[in-house]
A and B are shown apart, each in its own frame.
Chain A
Amino acid sequence: MLLVPCPNCGPRNSSDLRYVGESHKRPDPATTTPEEWRTYLYMHKNPADWMMETWYCSSGCRRFFTIERHTATSEFRNPPLPGGKRGGRA
């Protein structure tokens, strides 16, 4: 099981957190088109590479944070940032 570096709680089992998903910008609801909105909802890049992703420390500090992880090796790099761009689903 992955150890996820929570900025507040330190390295925690990934089961202590909720994986929110790939971080991506939310289109402006005032100007977005249905196509663009559904791309935001459903079409993720899912690269085999470094990726910014958001986690929620649901069993710890209950903070959302964003961090860079390599999806093939599960290495993390660079310090996590508080908050982040949210995924599409609750």
Chain B
Amino acid sequence: MSTLSDRLSAQPGEIIDRSSKLRFTWNGKGVTGFAGDTIASALMANNVQVVSRSMKYHRPRGYMTADYWDPNGSVQLASEPNVRSGHRQLQEGMKVSAQNVWPSLDRDVRAVNGVLGRFLTAGFYYKTFMHPRSLWPTYEKVLATFAPGGKVDLDAPSGYFDKRYAHPDVVVAGGGPSGLAAAIDAARAGAKVMLVEHTHHLGGHLLWGSDGDRAVLAQLLTELAEADVEVLVDSTVTGRYEDNWIGISQRSHPGVEERLIKARAKMLVVAGGLIERPYVFEGNDLPGVMMSSAVRRSMAMYAVRPGSRAVVLSANAEGDAAVEALTAAGVEVAAVVDPRNGQDLVRAKGSRRVESVELADGRSVEADLLVIAAGWTSPTSLINMAGDRPSFDDSCGRFFPTDPPETVLVTGGMAGDGTTEEIVEHGRATGDLAARRASTVAHRLQAATTRAQSVDEIEPVWAADSRIALGRWSHPGLYRASTHGIVDYSEDVSSKDLVAAAKEGYDSVELLKRYTTATMGPSQGKLSTVNTVAILGEARGETIAEVGTTVWRPPFAPISLGALGGRKFEPIRVSAMHRWHEANGATPIIAGQWIRPEHYGDPAAEVRKTRSGVGLIDVSPLGKLDLQGADVPKLLNHLYTNTWNKLPIGGVRYGIMCAEDGIVLDDGVTGRLGENHYLMTTTSSGAATVWEWAENWLQTEHPDWDVSVTPVTTAYASMNLAGPKSREVLSSLVDDIDLDPEDFRYMQLRTGRIAGVDNCIMWRIGFTGELSFELHVPAGYGEAVWRSVMEAGAEFGITPFGLEGQRIMRLEKGHFIVGQDTDGLSLAPATGLDALIKLDKPDFAGKPELSWALENYEGPLVVAVQPVDPNVVPGEASQIIDPIDKRILGRITSARYSPTLERSVCLAQVEPQFATAGSRLTIKMIDGSLQEAVVQEHHAHFDPEGERLRG
């Protein structure tokens, strides 16, 4: 049967370009096709009959729908798996191969599964590979080799993907006759329209219809060209979300692999057409069994002859048209089985392709092609997503919309039946209605925007739906013949499996689906949903309407992860001193959105030089909020757990903030610049949170308070000059600020001129535990001041130090970092800073919880820990365990080797009974070994009295 399929003579509607021959390979063998071919049509033209092997039984499979949804048509391109060959257009040089076959498509050894099929019924994997649990990893490995799907090339270069936001008035999903007409008339009525067509060609079933159909299409395309419509082909409306937020996967945008369009449409027109539904009978998955639409499309558009001798099961006009088309193309139609006259077929027979068809009247007809026109499935996905529950019309054998939202209109085959003219007319009326409603929606949106230009016209009246409804043509309900066959081709689920599962008790459609995986494969139930429901109904003795359908969820067609990710738009923040860091050998580290110097070569040396002399660090990312107003102390009292009534002008105070549940939210210092003027600093990562937290209280509970909050994090460049010689360095840079330690003491601030720059703020605090001055200078002068400080410090051996040096020094001092040494369960008493929780204040954020916690807290505590072996630095998050019963008692939250103490130092969270000084702890290292450590008396490993920073 080697001449089964080949090209027909030129067809009037063909879209292949016979002058442009394309070479490609199929499983390594060179073959040719034409420009305009899909991979599928080219393979069919090359007499390829077996395209794939089925998922579970590895049965030979051929083209059945020969379009995007073909459950058998997934192929592997060079580095791209799971390519839908019925959709992807052929390109010169493509390397196409079958997937899910081993060792080859023709001799697939796993086809033995077919013999053992009775062991592979629904739930087989669950039941068989359940016990013992210890073998799960082994089972997984074995089963994985049987899993379907192509091979992912991990070395394939990442493609370029993009996103777009659009604000059309009307999105039309589907470019068949009704969708085209809707788009044209919506645009004529003045709407901004996007017309989205899943395939590469507008026209829908007109593309393979009669001469009259093609004339209508030509007319519509002419009108479309004149209308102002944005046309997206090879694009899919993948989802409809609240308020007509529409996802569109655009595979045809030049220069990108795929683009995800997020469209806020005022109106959505669903014109998705119908999907031809397979029929269930023995042998219904043999190569050579094809849907009537697939047969007509292949002949009309690609001039491919699908077989040489056909049996046609025709239950509708489309099936009759297929008989005509086959005859016209010279394919012998050996028998027409017409269920409208009570005829039926029993089974198809053949080994690698249909060889004969057994009919209900007892005849056996030899044929290599069995054409099925048994009815339609309405792909109601988008209207389901809009909240509608479509209802089943038994006399038509398909679902119809029940009551979609008024901003979602349905037209075409999903709305009803009619002649081509009636369908086009309904589409036009739908487009016009959509445009008129869109103008009302647009008016409402603009009117709701108080700051927008006022809307001068009156609101357009909400247009009533006065469309003439399409009819509903009766259709025999054909789901299963007298034999059992495949229901879900992607997942290899048979009607027998479904009946058995229903008997086992999986008799609700949602349960049945999950248990048998019917409708869950790559075609996502487009072909199998209704048959699944019908067979469950058969098993339960109920109608399809009574059984109900499964919910269709987005996406309608797959979207690549690349398109969902889009282009990388990660904002990057750098300080005003960034250029200097780059020029001076800083190793960068990403800290949130900030790029910061981690170190300048040797963090330990930076620590030693700072502790013995002087060092300078860029702390610009430190969160800074400018607070002004008479009621700032009220706000501070509310946000911090300690008291802020008596902070003098020029004073600085430390505090911790808690959320209402008592969990530590942030910490930092706030200084008073003037009578009603304060500067708050937050952690670098907490800047945005604390700003919102302050606004939250001011806007919701205390709108009467006179406080203005302004984020000034990037208005100032910030640096900390630390070390015993810092005062000497600074002395040559200031003239109006007195640095005398008797006058400018620890936890005080001064404002004035630094290195010639006015309006600077300087405060004596520091994370490092050294005498230190934090300088906040107007950001534009940041680099100049930094350079001046480095120059002035040269004679004192100044070193720049990075985040790592600071982390070491803060850990030597035992300062915890919120979110590292505390976590989302750390109530304030966990930090040991009970003295900072002032319950005598009438109110503050989290007070009732902290009031309880101070009495009752029994959770882990933050403690300083030193491993007994000074050279052991445990990995952060190492567990602290009970050495006997292995119970987890806590964990190491920070660990570094201290260059100052020449030993390992840590902070840890540990249960309170092990938190007392001198407790011996067992740390389980990353490698599994155990190390002993001792809890220290103070959080500070170094200078616990704080003499250095007060110097």
| Interface pair A89/B661, CB less than 8 Å apart | yes
| Interface pair B696/A37, CB less than 8 Å apart | no
| Interface pair B659/A56, CB less than 8 Å apart | no
| Interface pair B692/A56, CB less than 8 Å apart | yes
- A47 an interface residue at 8 Å Cβ cutoff? no
Beta-carbon nearest neighbor of A33 in chain B: B848
Beta-carbon nearest neighbor of A61 in chain B: B451
| Interface pair B243/A1, CB less than 8 Å apart | yes
- B166 an interface residue at 8 Å Cβ cutoff? no
Instruction: Determine the interface band of chain B, counting residues with CB < 8 A from chain A.
Output: 20 to 34
What separation, in Å, do the CA atoms of A41 and B852 have in the docked complex? 14
- A2 an interface residue at 8 Å Cβ cutoff? yes
Q: Name the A residues within 8 Å of B852 (CB-CB).
A: 34, 37
What separation, in Å, do the CA atoms of A56 and B700 have in the docked complex? 11
| Interface pair A3/B843, CB less than 8 Å apart | no
Of the stretches B442-450, B604-612, B907-915, the one at the interface is B442-450
Q: Name the B residues within 8 Å of A58 (CB-CB).
A: 692
Q: A27 to nearest B CB, angstroms?
A: 7
Contacts known (A29-B847, A89-B661); A62 close to B449, Cβ less than 8 A: no
| Interface pair A10/B452, CB less than 8 Å apart | yes
| Interface pair A83/B692, CB less than 8 Å apart | no
- B665 an interface residue at 8 Å Cβ cutoff? yes
Q: Name the A residues within 8 Å of B697 (CB-CB).
A: 86
What separation, in Å, do the CA atoms of A56 and B691 have in the docked complex? 12
- B9 an interface residue at 8 Å Cβ cutoff? no
What separation, in Å, do the CA atoms of A9 and B445 have in the docked complex? 11
| Interface pair A84/B700, CB less than 8 Å apart | yes
What separation, in Å, do the CA atoms of A37 and B697 have in the docked complex? 17
What separation, in Å, do the CA atoms of A30 and B651 have in the docked complex? 30
| Interface pair A9/B451, CB less than 8 Å apart | yes
| Interface pair B700/A2, CB less than 8 Å apart | no
Beta-carbon nearest neighbor of A12 in chain B: B449
Q: Name the B residues within 8 Å of A63 (CB-CB).
A: 699
User: Among the listed A18, A30, A54, A83, which residue makes an inter-chain contact with B703, where contact means beta carbons less than 8 Å apart?
Assistant: A83
| Interface pair B699/A37, CB less than 8 Å apart | no
- B241 an interface residue at 8 Å Cβ cutoff? yes
Q: A53 to nearest B CB, angstroms?
A: 12
- A90 an interface residue at 8 Å Cβ cutoff? yes
Among B659, B660, B848, chain A packs the most CB atoms within 10 A around the CB of B848
| Interface pair B848/A64, CB less than 8 Å apart | no
- B767 an interface residue at 8 Å Cβ cutoff? no
| Interface pair A7/B842, CB less than 8 Å apart | no
- A74 an interface residue at 8 Å Cβ cutoff? yes
What separation, in Å, do the CA atoms of A26 and B697 have in the docked complex? 12
| Interface pair A1/B242, CB less than 8 Å apart | yes
Q: Name the A residues within 8 Å of B241 (CB-CB).
A: 1
What separation, in Å, do the CA atoms of A1 and B346 have in the docked complex? 49
Q: A60 to nearest B CB, angstroms?
A: 10
| Interface pair A29/B445, CB less than 8 Å apart | no
Q: B683 to nearest A CB, angstroms?
A: 13
What separation, in Å, do the CA atoms of A64 and B842 have in the docked complex? 25
What DSSP secondary structure best describes chain A's contact surface? loop
What separation, in Å, do the CA atoms of A1 and B696 have in the docked complex? 24
Taking CB atoms and an 8 Å cut-off, the chain B residues in 580-615 that contact chain A are none
Total chain A interface residues with beta-carbon distance under 8 A: 37
- B462 an interface residue at 8 Å Cβ cutoff? no
| Interface pair B842/A30, CB less than 8 Å apart | yes
What separation, in Å, do the CA atoms of A11 and B167 have in the docked complex? 13
- B695 an interface residue at 8 Å Cβ cutoff? yes
User: Among the listed B449, B661, B665, B699, which residue makes an inter-chain contact with A88, where contact means beta carbons less than 8 Å apart?
Assistant: B661
- A32 an interface residue at 8 Å Cβ cutoff? yes
What separation, in Å, do the CA atoms of A8 and B452 have in the docked complex? 10
Contacts known (A29-B842, A56-B692, A88-B659); A64 close to B699, Cβ less than 8 A: yes
| Interface pair A86/B451, CB less than 8 Å apart | no
What separation, in Å, do the CA atoms of A20 and B699 have in the docked complex? 13
Beta-carbon nearest neighbor of B244 in chain A: A3
Taking CB atoms and an 8 Å cut-off, the chain A residues in 24-56 that contact chain B are 26-27, 29-30, 32, 34, 37, 40-41, 54, 56
| Interface pair B659/A86, CB less than 8 Å apart | no
Among B387, B703, B849, chain A packs the most CB atoms within 10 A around the CB of B849
Q: A89 to nearest B CB, angstroms?
A: 5
Q: A73 to nearest B CB, angstroms?
A: 8
What separation, in Å, do the CA atoms of A62 and B696 have in the docked complex? 10
Beta-carbon nearest neighbor of B848 in chain A: A37
What separation, in Å, do the CA atoms of A52 and B848 have in the docked complex? 25
Contacts known (A11-B449, A64-B696); A88 close to B660, Cβ less than 8 A: yes
User: Among the listed B452, B693, B847, which residue makes an inter-chain contact with A90, where contact means beta carbons less than 8 Å apart?
Assistant: B693
Q: Name the A residues within 8 Å of B659 (CB-CB).
A: 88-90
Taking CB atoms and an 8 Å cut-off, the chain B residues in 445-464 that contact chain A are 445-446, 448-452
Beta-carbon nearest neighbor of B841 in chain A: A29
| Interface pair B661/A8, CB less than 8 Å apart | no
User: Among the listed B661, B693, B696, B848, which residue makes an inter-chain contact with A27, where contact means beta carbons less than 8 Å apart?
Assistant: B848
User: Among the listed A2, A7, A29, which residue makes an inter-chain contact with B450, where contact means beta carbons less than 8 Å apart?
Assistant: A7
Taking CB atoms and an 8 Å cut-off, the chain B residues in 799-853 that contact chain A are 842-844, 847-849, 852
Among B241, B387, B699, B703, chain A packs the most CB atoms within 10 A around the CB of B699
| Interface pair B848/A34, CB less than 8 Å apart | yes
| Interface pair A2/B242, CB less than 8 Å apart | yes
- B654 an interface residue at 8 Å Cβ cutoff? no
Q: Name the A residues within 8 Å of B452 (CB-CB).
A: 10
| Interface pair A1/B245, CB less than 8 Å apart | yes
| Interface pair B848/A29, CB less than 8 Å apart | yes
| Interface pair B848/A62, CB less than 8 Å apart | no
- B689 an interface residue at 8 Å Cβ cutoff? yes
| Interface pair A32/B449, CB less than 8 Å apart | no
What separation, in Å, do the CA atoms of A13 and B532 have in the docked complex? 38
| Interface pair A29/B693, CB less than 8 Å apart | no
Taking CB atoms and an 8 Å cut-off, the chain B residues in 655-701 that contact chain A are 659-661, 665, 689, 692-693, 695-697, 699-701
Q: Name the A residues within 8 Å of B387 (CB-CB).
A: 73
| Interface pair B243/A64, CB less than 8 Å apart | no
| Interface pair B661/A2, CB less than 8 Å apart | no
| Interface pair A11/B445, CB less than 8 Å apart | yes
Q: Name the A residues within 8 Å of B449 (CB-CB).
A: 9-11
Q: A62 to nearest B CB, angstroms?
A: 7
Q: B133 to nearest A CB, angstroms?
A: 35
Contacts known (A9-B449, A29-B847); A89 close to B243, Cβ less than 8 A: no
Q: Name the B residues within 8 Å of A30 (CB-CB).
A: 842-843
What separation, in Å, do the CA atoms of A86 and B694 have in the docked complex? 12
Beta-carbon nearest neighbor of B852 in chain A: A34
Q: B709 to nearest A CB, angstroms?
A: 10
Q: A2 to nearest B CB, angstroms?
A: 5
Q: Name the A residues within 8 Å of B699 (CB-CB).
A: 63-64, 82-83
Contacts known (A32-B848, A90-B689); A74 close to B242, Cβ less than 8 A: yes
Beta-carbon nearest neighbor of A40 in chain B: B660
Q: A35 to nearest B CB, angstroms?
A: 10
| Interface pair A37/B849, CB less than 8 Å apart | yes
What separation, in Å, do the CA atoms of A64 and B241 have in the docked complex? 25
| Interface pair A2/B847, CB less than 8 Å apart | no
Among A1, A26, A54, chain B packs the most CB atoms within 10 A around the CB of A1
Taking CB atoms and an 8 Å cut-off, the chain B residues in 342-371 that contact chain A are none
Q: Name the B residues within 8 Å of A3 (CB-CB).
A: 242-243, 264, 445
What separation, in Å, do the CA atoms of A82 and B703 have in the docked complex? 10
Smallest CB-CB A-B distances: 5 pairs: A10-B449, A37-B848, A1-B245, A86-B700, A3-B243
Residue ranges of A at the interface with B (Cβ–Cβ < 8 Å): 1-3, 5, 7-11, 13, 18, 20, 26-27, 29-30, 32, 34, 37, 40-41, 54, 56, 58, 62-64, 73-74, 82-86, 88-90
The 20 sampled A-B contact pairs (Cβ below 8 Å) are A1-B241, A3-B243, A9-B449, A9-B451, A10-B448, A10-B451, A11-B445, A11-B448, A11-B449, A18-B692, A29-B844, A30-B843, A32-B848, A34-B848, A37-B848, A62-B695, A86-B701, A89-B659, A89-B660, A90-B689
